[in-house]
Structure formats: structure tokens, C-alpha cells
């Protein structure tokens, strides 16, 4: 074992992205690099949480180059069984406004589906962990933070944003669009880890507001504005899940 985790407590795993750049959640955390059979992962840890910054230490790993297999495997190796993915998304629906928080209940991922079962015939049934989803929703409610309790997440491979025509298609089937969650949820399922997601809505997806042009620099800027409520929910979750208060 490379990290000594407190066995009396349930350490929570968090994978964070653009919407947690520079978060104060991790001010007291220590850094570590861990080797897995799929590659090396940079992470931060405290007694209560193991945090993987999805875009790496220097934030330069683009969405289509994230090593999802290594990231999820680290949690398995460390015995961290509950994982919350925090992701940034665009809204596919006019009534899901930028700055909302969404706790998706399902996802669509039609291509680039990662798997750890390259040589073995295993077909998992994908899905999100309902118990963890409920924990996120309860913690948010108890903190007076509004969350949208359901939503379908449509994953694209990135790094480019979507065309107007793609969004027109997606909005019939999903509520938000992003580049990460489905890959993490699928691998978590394969590794028998529990995974749920909380997404911050940074923008309306391309063409949802007809006249609006999308600009990724603005999306990243807006992501940091959305951080405060997300941090509050995660802070409470770290506390609540350790002692199974909500489970």
C-alpha cells in the first residue's frame, strides 16, 4: 500500500476538473504519484479524501487524453470505494440555467467507451450509484444549495465543442453535455466501485440560445465562478460519507 488510509473511516474519492481548479478543499492535502498497470496518476490526499485532478498537476491533460483507466484503477488499488466525479457541462435545455448544479441519473456515450476488459468477455450494465446520488442531493438540500436532482449526461470525446446540429440532436435525448463523466462511471462499474456525479453548468450548449457563440475561454472562466457551491457540497459530503450519516 502506497498511502496509509485510515481504515476506521470511509475515505471518499473525488475526481475534479475545470470547476475545481485551485480549490480550497485541498489546501492541506499532500501530493503523490501512483503507478498503476495503465500509467502513473498524480493525486492529492488528506485523511478524508483522495482527489484526482482529471487534467493533471499542471492542468494540461486534454479531455481526449485523460487516462481514465489509470485514474479509476488508483481508487481500486487504494481501497477507496465511493467516488464522486465533479464535471463541467453545457446545458441542453433552456430551463437548466448556467450556474446550476445537476446530479445526473443516467448518461449517453456512443463512442470512445473505455474498458478494463480488453481480453476478457465481461459486459457490465452501466449506471450511476443511486445511494451516492441521494447522498449528494441530501447534503446539498441540507446546506440550502439548489441542485437539479436528475438529468441525462451526453458525453462527447472533446476536445472541440459541439456543432449546432449536434446539439440539436442531443437535446432530444439528454439534458447536459460534457466530456468526462460517462467514461468514469463505466470504468467504476467495471471495477466494482461506487460512482456518482455532480456537474456544474457553465454555459448553454452551442445554439441553445440562437444568437450565442461559444468560447471555451469564457467557459473556463465561468467554471471558477461556479466553484463555491460545488465546494460546499463536496465539503459536507466528505464529512457525511465518512460516518455513513446519509447511507
Q: Sign of torsion, CA 162 222 96 88?
A: positive
222 binds ligand HPA (CB under 6 A): no
CB of residue 145 vs ligand HPA: minimum separation in angstroms? 20
Q: Is the dihedral of CA 99, 187, 54, 30 positive or negative?
A: positive
Kindly state the smallest distance separating residue 218's Cβ from ligand HPA, in Å: 10
The span from the CA of 76 to the CA of 38, in Å, is 13
183 binds ligand HPA (CB under 6 A): no
Cell of 34: 501512483
25 burial level (CB within 10 Å; 0-12, 13-18, 19+): buried
- As a three-state string, the secondary structure of 173-220 is CCCEEECCHHHHHHHHHHCCCEEEEEEEEEEECCCCCCCCCCCHHHHH
Q: Is 170 in the site for ligand HPA (CB under 6 A)?
A: no
- Site for ligand HPA (CB under 6 A): how many residues? 13
| From 132-140, 187-195, 200-208, 239-247, span contacting ligand HPA (CB under 6 A) | 200-208
Give the contact letters, 85-124, x = binds to ligand HPA (CB under 6 A), - = no.
---xxx----------------------------------
Does residue 70 interact with ligand HPA by CB under 6 A? no
- CB of 41 vs ligand HPA, minimal distance in Å: 22
> What does the binding site for ligand HPA look like in residue numbers (CB under 6 A)?
88-90, 156, 161-162, 177-179, 202-203, 205, 219
Amino acid at each position: 500500500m502506497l498511502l496509509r488510509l485510515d481504515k476506521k473511516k470511509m475515505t471518499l474519492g473525488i475526481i475534479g476538473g475545470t470547476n475545481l481548479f485551485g480549490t480550497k478543499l485541498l489546501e492541506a492535502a499532500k501530493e503523490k504519484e501512483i503507478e498503476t498497470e495503465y500509467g502513473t496518476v498524480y493525486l492529492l490526499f488528506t485523511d478524508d479524501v483522495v482527489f484526482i485532478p482529471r487534467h493533471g498537476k499542471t492542468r494540461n491533460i486534454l479531455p481526449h487524453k485523460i487516462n481514465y483507466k489509470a485514474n479509476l484503477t488508483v481508487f481500486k488499488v487504494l481501497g477507496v470505494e465511493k467516488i464522486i466525479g465533479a464535471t463541467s457541462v453545457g446545458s441542453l435545455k433552456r430551463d437548466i440555467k448556467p450556474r446550476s448544479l445537476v446530479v445526473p441519473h443516467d448518461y449517453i456515450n456512443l463512442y470512445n467507451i473505455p474498458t478494463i476488459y480488453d481480453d476478457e468477455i465481461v459486459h457490465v450494465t452501466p449506471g450511476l450509484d443511486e445511494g451516492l446520488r441521494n447522498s449528494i442531493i441530501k447534503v446539498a438540500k441540507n446546506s440550502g444549495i439548489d441542485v437539479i436532482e436528475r438529468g441525462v449526461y451526453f458525453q462527447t470525446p472533446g476536445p472541440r465543442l459541439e456543432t449546432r446540429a449536434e446539439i440539436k440532436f442531443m437535446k432530444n435525448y439528454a439534458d447536459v453535455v460534457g466530456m468526462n463523466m460517462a467514461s468514469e462511471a463505466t470504468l467504476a462499474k467495471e471495477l466494482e466501485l461506487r460512482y456518482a456525479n455532480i456537474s456544474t453548468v457553465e454555459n448553454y450548449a452551442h445554439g441553445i440560445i440562437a444568437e450565442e457563440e461559444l468560447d471555451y475561454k469564457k467557459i473556463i472562466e465561468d467554471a471558477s465562478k461556479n466553484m463555491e457551491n460545488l465546494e460546499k457540497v463536496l465539503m459536507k459530503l466528505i464529512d457525511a460519507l465518512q460516518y455513513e450519516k446519509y447511507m
